[in-house]
Every structure is written in structure tokens, then in C-alpha cells.
Amino acid sequence: MTFLNEGPRVDRRLLFKSFISPSKLLSTLLKQNITVLFCNCRSRSIIDFEDVETFIRDIGIKDVISHDSLCSLEGIEFYKNVLNNFPKKLIVLACSKRNFKDIADEMNYPTENLYVLEIQELCGFVHSDLFKATEKAKRMIASFIAQNFSQTQKEVGGTVLARSKGLEAKDIRTLYGRPELCLSFKGACSSCMSYCPRDAISSHISLLVDRRLCNVCGVCENVCLQDVFYIFPLNPDFRLGLDYLLKESWKTSGAKKGKNFLEHNILVFACGEEVKNTFIRAGISGQKYKEEILPTFLPSPSAITVNLILQAFNKGAQKVILLGDNSCPPKIKAYVENAIIACKMISSKLNDRIRFFWIKENDVTTLINILEGETEDVEPEVLRKQEVSVDYDDRREELVDLIISLSDKEVIPSSKLTPFGFIEINKSDCSLCGKCANICPTNALTFHEGHIYFDHSKCVGCNICESVCEKRLLKCYQEIRTAFLDKSIKVV
């Protein structure tokens, strides 16, 4: 791959070594020296912060400090005192009334070590049931920690590697890739080019990314099941956050049985800029909605992926709502809508369970109407057949396992975002010349000891094998046949 204004590359496989799995989160947290400062907000919040404090200690954070009113003048002095002690990493759980980042900046505290979750507007001010709101607060806090601290792990490694190659911090938002995996040169794929909203990607002798046009929206990385792109800084690990947000219940030590229980899990993937501001506004004005609404904020709608939506269902979501900002570029809107269509095709049960809306920033009334409307008629049901972990570093492998786990169909039409093909060969006339296996860009067809094998999970449905066979013996169907996804078949 060639980048215009190309910078040094980092081998992404080195970085994957620093990924953490959910089971290792606790030990990682303990090593990271995190301080949590939370505001009890005695005046308005419904959350039981004593229970939450015990919960935070239970998940392995020992340094937990609270204040009754962090937004008061006295509270701000208290916050400054905490900053003066230079905690290594500080999580503030409070409301949006004060800009905690600006104050930290004034105090010369490194803001990259400060993590703020507006737990009051997103939970404490918008619910009425103390037990449910407290359960939701625990899930949101655990999910926030899991997402952000797994990212910190990766980012630190990335920053060190990039700096060692002479890059400035400002240059770290850059693209790295594994060009050897790109299928465009053989005419087998062009997905990133079709979805890039700024037409920054083209393919001639090699894949070209014009950095003058690229604004690092990340859609190319999300579209590509070959994992060719790799973008800094990485988004928080949203899949890891899902594990915690959708956990059945958090039992804090000493909690009464049945105390921490939400009946439905309605996961909301929302744009972390404009739509998050609308959520915050709803919180400030105290607009109420059901505790079962579990929001997770993505940097932009382009961060959504088919895998992420399917993982939400795999982890126990009963419904997924996508909320984007109306002013989103048309190609990103098309990408999100196509991702939803691709997910719905995988299982008939997902048809009514995925909803998406484009809303205007600060349109609180529309937001509340959507949230209220979408919490009705959700029948809790176990949708997955098997658990699929969030530890994959091969997106295609993860997608295959998610389809096997969630699909209720024998045949699924493939799409640009779920690119699969199924090959049938008229074997009676096959001379075993091996041309199809030699040309297959993904090794879905292989020639071994006088036989041809087909691995459906690797086939992208490019048709190249079909056209190379002089006797026209192959037929490539643009579909996923679920019964064959996990096997290699001897076709001749």
C-alpha cells in the first residue's frame, strides 16, 4: 500500500500483544494505579453511591474518593486537591456542570490521564427506580473502564513505537496497514473505496490513501474484513465494553438478592459528539426514560461495524438502537444503513430488534420519544446458540462465529459488508489442473494431494476462480450457507 505523504509504519501484530481480554481486566486495573473520584450528588441523583462505591472497590480499584457536591465551589477545591496529588490515572464520575478537563489543564494535570463519565446526566438524573438506576450505573462504569483502559494499553504501545520512529505526537493520527492482505489488486474487493466519504482511497498498482483528503473517520478500517487498515489513535475497545454493559447483573458484596436486575437490555450505539450532547441535555432537564436503555458512545457512526452489532446480541442485548447525527455525510449514513441490513439478513429474529434514527443535535424531545417508543414490546429471549468471545484480532473469524451463533437461516445473501461466496464444482469433468486454487486470493480453494478443498469461511465471492476455469465447471453463489461455514469441504 502506498500513502501519499507516507510516514513510517508500525507492525500492528506487535500492538495486538498488548490487548487485554475481559478476564484479565481486574489484574490490569490493579497494575494501572487508578483513582476514582465520584460525586454523590446528594441533591438530585437517584443512584445509590454507597453501593456503587463498594462495587468499584470489588472490581479491583482501591483508591476511591467521593464528594457530596463536586460542582460546588467547595467541591472544585476538593477536586483541585485531588489533582495536586497527581494520581496516575483519574476517573471522574459526576455531572457536566463543570468542565473537569479544563480545570485539570489549568492545574497542569495531564488531561490524557483524566477520564470523565457524566454518570448523573446519563443515569442518575434520568431514572426513577433506585435499584435499577444503581445497577445501570455499575454497568456503565465497568464498561467505561473496560473500554478506555484497554485502549490506554494499546495507545501507549503505539505512541512509544511511533515516537521511536521519529513521529511527532500530532502525527500519530495516521494510517498503518498490511498491504499484503488487500484483495483489490486482483479485483476481489473495493469496499473501502466505495464507503470512504471523501474519496481518499484509490487502487492502481497499489492501494493509495490521499492524506490530504483523509480525515481519519475510520470507515475503511471498519469495512475491511481483511484488517488491512490500522488507525491511530485506536478507538476505545467497544466490544470489551459490551461485555460489562450487558452483564446479567453486578452483585456487589453485601447486595441483597435480586437487587441488581434489569429485565431487558436495550443497547444504544450513539454518536459520541452530537447525540451524546443531546443525552446530556436530556439529563440536565431531568427528562425520564427507562433504566433498560444502555447507551454506549462511539466517536462517530462510522465506528459501528456488523461485528459490533452482532456482538451486542451475542452478549445479551434484546434490541440495538443506532442513533446518529442528521448532519452525518451521506456515504457514512449509507454505510451504517447497509451494516444494519446485513445484520438483519443474518437472522429473522433480528429484523425487529435493530432500529436506527438520524436525529438533530439538541433535539431532546425526539430523543426521548425514540427511547420511550423503543422500550415497548421487547420480548426477552436468548438469541445466541453459543458464546462468542470479544478477544478476536481477526475480524472475519469473529464474524463467522457470530453468524454461526446467531443465524436461524440455512442460506443468507452475502453483501459488501458480509462478503462470502459458496463454490460448487461440476467434478465429473474436472481435470484437476489446479488453476482455480492457484488464483484464489484468499486460499478458500486449495489443492492438496490430488484433491481440491473449499473453505467457505475464507471465500469472499470474487468469482475469479469461476472465470479462470476454461471448462466453466465452477459456479460461485453470492451467499452464506451456514451449515458449511465451519468446515473445509473436499470438492473434487
Binding site for ligand SF4 (CB under 6 A): 182-184, 188-192, 207, 223-224, 226, 228, 421, 423, 440, 442, 444-445, 459-465, 476
Q: Is 350 within 8 Å of 343 (Cβ atoms)?
A: yes
Give the number of other CB atoms < 10 A from CB of residue 97. Answer: 17
- Please name the residue that has the C-alpha cell 481480554: 21
Burial environment of residue 419 by CB neighbours within 10 A (0 to 12, 13 to 18, 19 or more)? buried
Q: Which amino acid is at 476?
A: C
Nearest CB to ligand SF4, comparing residues 224 and 328: 224
Nearest CB to ligand SF4, comparing residues 372 and 479: 479
d(CA 323, CA 350): 17
Query: Minimum Å distance from CB 350 to ligand SF4?
Result: 24
Query: Minimum Å distance from CB 150 to ligand SF4?
Result: 24
Nearest CB to ligand SF4, comparing residues 151 and 226: 226
d(CA 375, CA 430): 56
Query: Minimum Å distance from CB 207 to ligand SF4?
Result: 6
Annotate 111-166 with DSSP letters as a single string. GGGEEEE-HIIIIITT---HHHHHHHHHHHHHHHHHHHHHHHHHHHHHHHHHHHTT
Query: Minimum Å distance from CB 188 to ligand SF4?
Result: 6
Q: What's the grid cell of residue 82?
A: 485531588
d(CA 183, CA 442): 8
Annotate 250-286 with DSSP letters as a single string. ---TTPPTT-S--S--EEEEEETTHHHHHHHHHHHTT
Nearest CB to ligand SF4, comparing residues 347 and 457: 457
Phi, psi dihedral angles at 136 (to 5 degrees): -65, -40
Q: Is 200 within 8 Å of 210 (Cβ atoms)?
A: yes
Query: Minimum Å distance from CB 343 to ligand SF4?
Result: 18
Query: Minimum Å distance from CB 201 to ligand SF4?
Result: 7
Nearest CB to ligand SF4, comparing residues 203 and 249: 203
Nearest CB to ligand SF4, comparing residues 100 and 229: 229
Burial environment of residue 376 by CB neighbours within 10 A (0 to 12, 13 to 18, 19 or more)? exposed
Nearest CB to ligand SF4, comparing residues 109 and 420: 420
Q: Is 452 within 8 Å of 491 (Cβ atoms)?
A: yes
Query: Minimum Å distance from CB 220 to ligand SF4?
Result: 6
Query: Minimum Å distance from CB 354 to ligand SF4?
Result: 23
Query: Minimum Å distance from CB 463 to ligand SF4?
Result: 5
Q: Is 350 within 8 Å of 412 (Cβ atoms)?
A: no
User: What is the b/e burial string over 5-44, where b = at least 16 CB atoms within 10 angstroms of the residue's CB?
Assistant: eebebbebeebeeebbebeebeebbeeeebbbbbbbbeee
Query: Minimum Å distance from CB 32 to ligand SF4?
Result: 34
Nearest CB to ligand SF4, comparing residues 156 and 334: 334
d(CA 478, CA 473): 17
Q: Is 421 within 8 Å of 460 (Cβ atoms)?
A: yes
Nearest CB to ligand SF4, comparing residues 366 and 488: 488
d(CA 440, CA 460): 10
Q: What is the DSSP letter of 2?
A: E
Per residue, the 3-state secondary structure of 195-230, as one string, reads HCCCCCEEECCCEEECCCCCCCCCHHHHHCCCCCEE
Query: Minimum Å distance from CB 171 to ligand SF4?
Result: 22
Nearest CB to ligand SF4, comparing residues 193 and 234: 193
Nearest CB to ligand SF4, comparing residues 125 and 229: 229
